[in-house]
Structures are given as C-alpha cells and as structure tokens.
Structure 1
Amino acid sequence: MKIAIVSDAWHPQVNGVVRTLTTVMGELLRQGHSVQIISPGDFRSIPAPSYPEIRLALTGKHGVGKRLERFAPDSIHIATEGPLGSAARRWCIKRGIPFTTAYHTQFPEYLSRRTGLPAGLFWPVIRRFHRPAERIMVATQSVREELRAHGLTQLHHWSRGVDISVFHPDHLPPEMFFSLPRPIQLYVGRVAVEKNIEAFLRSAHPGSKVVVGDGPALAKLKTQFSDAHFLGSRKGADLAACYAGADVFVFPSRTDTFGLVMIEALACGTPVAAFPVQGPLDVLRPESGAIAEDLDQAIAAALALDRADCLVHGQSFSWRESTRQFLAGLALIEPAPARDRRVLRTA
C-alpha cells in the first residue's frame, strides 16, 4: 500500500507529533508499505513567528498536489492543520479524493496561550479543517468527546506506543544526577509557553528540578529559574537515562491531547505527576500517576507510587498496535475512473 502523509511537523523538529509519525512510518516500512512524507523540507519555508524552530512551507495546493500526483498514493493522511495540511486538504477536496486527518494538539488552547485570545475563537477553524475528512484520528476518549461536542463525529481511535528496547529502567542515570538533591523532578518536551513549564518550575516540592528539551522559552526560563537544571535536547538512550534516573516525571501541560513523554517515563519505571486535564486523565492510572490541580500535591503522591507498577503500565503501549490502528483508519482512494463517476453522480 502506498501511503502519503502530509505534515507541517517533521525533522529537525523534536516533538510528540514528529516522534509518532517517524515511528509509525518505520513500522509501516517494515510491514512492506511504501510511505512518502510531504513536509516543509520539500519547499521554501520561513520560520514561524515567535517560534523559529518551526518552519512554515511557502507553497499552495498545486505544489503539494504535484508531489501527491507523482507518488500516486492509495491513501492520503493529513497530520497537521498548518499550511501544508491546508494545501493538501484543498487539493483533495477539489478532486473529490478522500483523506484522513489527525487531532494531535489542542490547537484552540495552544493558540490561546500564544495569543492571549479566548480559545473559543479558534474552534470554527478547527471544525472547518476537519469536517471534510473521512475519519479524524484521535488518541484518547476525552478528545473524542470534545470533538463530538463540536460536531465532528467521524472519529477513529489511534493510540500511541513506546519503544521498550530504548525506554526501560536499566539505564545508568546521567552522572550529574548522582550529585543532585533528591527527589529529582524531571520535565521532558518542548520548552515553550504552551507547555506550562513555569508551573513545574514554581512548584515548591523540595529536591531538584531538571528540564530536558529546547524551544523558544528556554533562555527566559534559564534566567527566571536559575536553580533549575536545563540539559538541552536529548534523544534515545541519553533521554531514557534521564527518565530512569528521575524520581518523578512532571507533566505540566494543559494543551496536549496525549503526552507521549508520559508513557516513555512510565516505561522507564518513573511515576508521573500532572494536572487533571486531557492526556493525563486518559493515559494515567492510579498506580502509575498522580493527578491534582495542586501540582505539589500531585508530585508528593506520585513519589509514593511503586515504580514496578509504573513499568508494567508503560510497557503496555505498543507501536505495532498503534500502527495497526492507523492503517485501519485510512481511507482508500478509488481508481480515477470510478472516482470520476462518483463525483459526477453527486454533483
């Protein structure tokens, strides 16, 4: 099967969307499928305002359409609501070609945090973007319920996985961890305003706070919270060692739809502390994470959990199953003559 995936988020960006698409693509290739990623790297691009790590492709439906026509996919998946996703959407709609989308990020909340405007102002854009999709892939039940409340009902479950060959508790912690006051409280992810990292860094629980990741808010947070330890971006075994060496993983985001980093931490045996919002409410269990509006309370409760229980929960997430769900949700493109007849019948 030939699968085209259009995404405004791709390497060298480091985030949950990129890790999800990269890992699922690898699984698809191992199963014998052919995959083409259409990303900002295929076009001229400019840095996103206030977030230069993200590139915005300078192209329209014709530029994206040329690549899709050359690849001649059996299915098209539009992963993001950015410029490329919008261009691919317009191209498919004009030609009567079915496509699927995914809701990876709480964009109304994300944009609200970055603009100061009410999140409700952005929901019409989200509804308009996803309404023509054959299926909208969502990772959790709470996101499914929210989208249904906004009239988007063509929903398909697509969970996430964790690579237990990399993320496991047997890594030696980073050397610096041995000299830090315990408990070590860890954050991993983009260092950006929408991740609400300040809530973690302001928490009063004693011990050491460690931040792994990069992003536009890094310099400000380093200056503002000089007692925290900022390690920059880490990948693979180096990242897993940070998870395994921490006493608790703190997930302060209120805008993520899943939170891939939470299950990576759990697979390393590290309990999670989070707010009672989408993502944590869906992913965590009482034996693997603590949820509270008071983050200090959540951290204290998470530190009391059994790491063996966290490990079992984290290792229950499979990328193979995630890929199976992704494949099951795709919309097949009919051969051109059949598609043309269908378009004429409905015109």
Structure 2
Amino acid sequence: MILWLTYWYPDEANPVRGNFIRAQWRAAKEAGVDAELLFVDMALGPKLLDVQWSRGPEGEHILQVRSRMWKSLYHTPIWAANLLTKKWTKKTGLPTPEVIHAQVVFPAGVLAEQLGRRWNVPYYITEHWSKAGRWTRHKLFGKRVRNAYQDASAILPVSEHLKAELQQALPSIGASRFAVVPNAVDLSRFPHVDKPIQPKASIVTLLGVASLIPANARIKRVDLVLEALADLKRRHPEVAWRYRHVGDGGRMGRLQDYAKGLGLADHVAWLGALDAASLHAEYASADIFVQPSKTETFGIVVLEALHTGLPVVATDIPAFEQWLSPERGVRVGLDPKEIAQGILTVWEQGLRVAPMDLEAKKYAPTEVGAQLKELYARLVRASPGR
C-alpha cells in the first residue's frame, strides 16, 4: 500500500484547496494503484488541542487537528510523526505503508521524511508549490526542506519549469531522481467550442477563474484586472466591457468594494464557485480569458480555457510558456496597463483557439494514472526499503 500524505485537500470550507492533489490520487487509484490518502487537516480551534480521526467521502483518512497553537503544530511535523507512529494502525486498521507519497515538501514532505525513518520505508515528494525552491533557502525551515528532498527516493514536480527551478535549488541531488508527473486534468469536461470571434467587437466578455482566499492576495491579482478594465473603459468607451469572475473566498467583499470605487459595479459579475458544467458554459460564452498570476506551478484553468477554444491573456511566467503561443493569446507583465494592452491585442485580432486534443492527452487522468503506476513499480523495485 502507498500512503499519500497531504496538508492540502478540498473540504466543505475550502472546496478547491488541493483539488489537483485529489485528481492525481483518483487517477492513481483508477489505474489500479493501492493508494490510501491521509489529509492532515490543521486549523485554529478553541481548545489547546482537539484531535479527531474520520473518513472522507471517497475513503480518505482525515486527521483533524484543532488547536489554539495550530501554527506551531503545522510548522513542527515531528508532532504529527509521533502521533501517526503510535496511532496509524489502531485508528485506520491499516498496516504500515510500503511507500509514502508526500504532496508538497512543507510540511508533508518533512513529515514523510520523519515517518520514513521510523517505519523504514522510502518516500517520494510530488511538488505543486510555487514557493518550494525559495523554501530551500528559508531562514527557519530551509534545512528541513533540503533534508526532506535529499532523502526522498524521487522528486516529482508537476511541470518542467518547476523541475528546473528545483534542480537549480538542489544541485547536490542527481537528475535521475527528478521526474515530471503533471496534474491530472479531465479536459473532456471542457470540449472545444467553435465560436467565431469578431475583431473589435462592441461587446466583450472577459473571464477570470481564481480562488479568492486571503492567502492568494499577492498571487492571484484580480485587483489588477479590475484596474485594467477601468483603463479599457476610458480608452474605448464605445465598447461594452464586462468581467465575470469564477471563484469564492474571503477577498470577494474587498474586491467588490474596489470594483465599485473604480466605477465598475455594473460591469463586473462575481459568480462564486461553479461546477465543471457551469464553468465550461462560462468558458464557452466568454471572449477572452484573463489570468493575472504572479506565480503558478501548472495553471489548470488556463489549460481548460484554451481547450474550450478561449484565447488567453496571462502573465509572462514560465508556467504558461508551453501553452500560450501567439495563436492562442498574449503573455504580459503583471501590470494593469500591460494587461489592458494584451486584452486590446486579442480584441483587435479576434482570436479563436484551435482544438488541442493531442497536446492535452498527456494530462488525461488515464495517462497520469498510468504514469504514476509505472513509476511506483520502478521505484519500489529500486528502493524496497530504507
């Protein structure tokens, strides 16, 4: 049995947090991998310490920790390692895993390193985190992060650019221990829509998709899209510019107030979280997709938009280089005037993205699941124990 270990996972309060981890886990299980998943769910609580074990809707094991000192526990995985070493089999009825597969180096990878030594099993780290490379140099936690990577039997970034960044940050680790395993994206839920786009249309619908949790405030810069929209209104008042945003979170109220202050209240719609069918309908009816990210490790929503046929204006970061050619949109700086100019470029051209079925195949859950299954078989043969 392979134990997936994560601190990021969707739940009722955070329905999109770590949904890419769930998608990869599902893909592995559907490929026939014997994989259990443990979600270490830590958050603030009224008591000094309250620990509960439960099961999720798909059989996930949930270690729920609520504590007034939750941040200390989160940043000190040795506490969770002690608990799991003592309680894992008693609480789950499962044996010690043959392999641990951590999702994100901190804190799950550091916890995997602790458990790997105690259980004498190898562990792998899939890296989704845009801050991972920088955290190898963190003043407080950098040594623990480097040690977790150093002792991992395999490091599995979700993209080539993240792999390159980690290899640069970890020069002592050989290239053979790195392998890219992309996120599993079921693009069949977002079929291509052949909708002709009129250059310089008089009505333009812009679409954005991003979680609005406070932690993303400096990463998902929806505020810059609002500023760009105000600029577009000033430069081309004859055009009915509209912006629709998919995604929920604690920042929404502030962004709504900001839009109102910019005179955009009647030009912006806040749609909250949507299911796949409703999201596809938004992709299909929009004219331009806008993604103002400071960093991304993968950028699933950009891939979904392109697969639907929607041209994209996105920030010029490595995550989007492989997908965003001039035939599909524009890469711009993280600046409202550059975003506005990118939108105008697409508006003037009237772009529509051609189908990308063959390119998208490698992200299909069946492909990713098969890749994980083959990788597990090879790695377990190479490192049957520590």
TM-score, normalised with respect to structure 2: 0.71
Partner of 1:196: 221
Partner of 1:144: 163
Percent identity over paired residues: 20
Structure-2 change in CA distance of 1:312 and 1:30 (3 Å): closer
Partner of 1:155: 178
- With 312-321 and 75-84 compared, the bigger mean Cα shift is at 312-321
What CA RMSD, in Å, does the superposition of the two structures yield over aligned residues?
3.6
Partner of 2:52: none
1:313 Cα deviation after fit = 7.2
> Alignment length, in residue pairs?
318
Partner SS for 1:261? helix
Q: Is the 8 A contact 2:4 2:38 kept in 1?
A: yes
Q: Deviations over 1:159-213 (max 9, x none)?
A: 23432331124599xxxxxxxx831111112113121222222213351111111
Q: Deviations over 1:218-271 (max 9, x none)?
A: 221111113222111112201111122211111111221111111111121111
Partner of 2:83: 63
Partner of 1:319: 365
Q: Is the 8 A contact 1:20 1:160 kept in 2?
A: yes
Matched letter for residue 340 of structure 2 = D
* 2:227 equivalent to 1:209: no
CA distance in 2, matches of 1:314, 1:224: 39
Unaligned 5+ segments in structure 2 are 42-61, 196-201, 234-240
Q: Is the 8 A contact 2:77 2:110 kept in 1?
A: no
* 2:22 equivalent to 1:22: yes
Partner of 2:340: 296
CA distance in 2, matches of 1:320, 1:5: 18
Q: Which of 220, 239, 244 in structure 1 is aligned with 2:254?
A: 220
* 2:157 equivalent to 1:132: no
Q: Is the 8 A contact 2:332 2:339 kept in 1?
A: yes
Partner SS for 1:137? strand
CA distance in 2, matches of 1:244, 1:25: 29
Partner of 1:307: 352
Structure-2 change in CA distance of 1:47 and 1:234 (3 Å): farther
Q: Is the 8 A contact 1:263 1:314 kept in 2?
A: no
Partner SS for 2:325? coil
TM-score, normalised with respect to structure 1: 0.78
1:279 Cα deviation after fit = 1.0
CA distance in 2, matches of 1:302, 1:137: 35
CA distance in 1, matches of 2:258, 2:285: 25
* 2:237 equivalent to 1:238: no
* 2:137 equivalent to 1:93: no
Partner of 2:203: 182
Partner of 1:282: 322
Matched letter for residue 372 of structure 2 = F
Partner SS for 1:33? coil
* 2:120 equivalent to 1:80: no
Partner SS for 2:18? helix
Partner SS for 1:37? strand
Q: Which of 21, 36, 45 in structure 1 is aligned with 2:65?
A: 45
Matched letter for residue 39 of structure 2 = S
Q: Is the 8 A contact 2:127 2:155 kept in 1?
A: yes
- With 243-252 and 56-65 compared, the bigger mean Cα shift is at 56-65
CA distance in 1, matches of 2:154, 2:247: 33
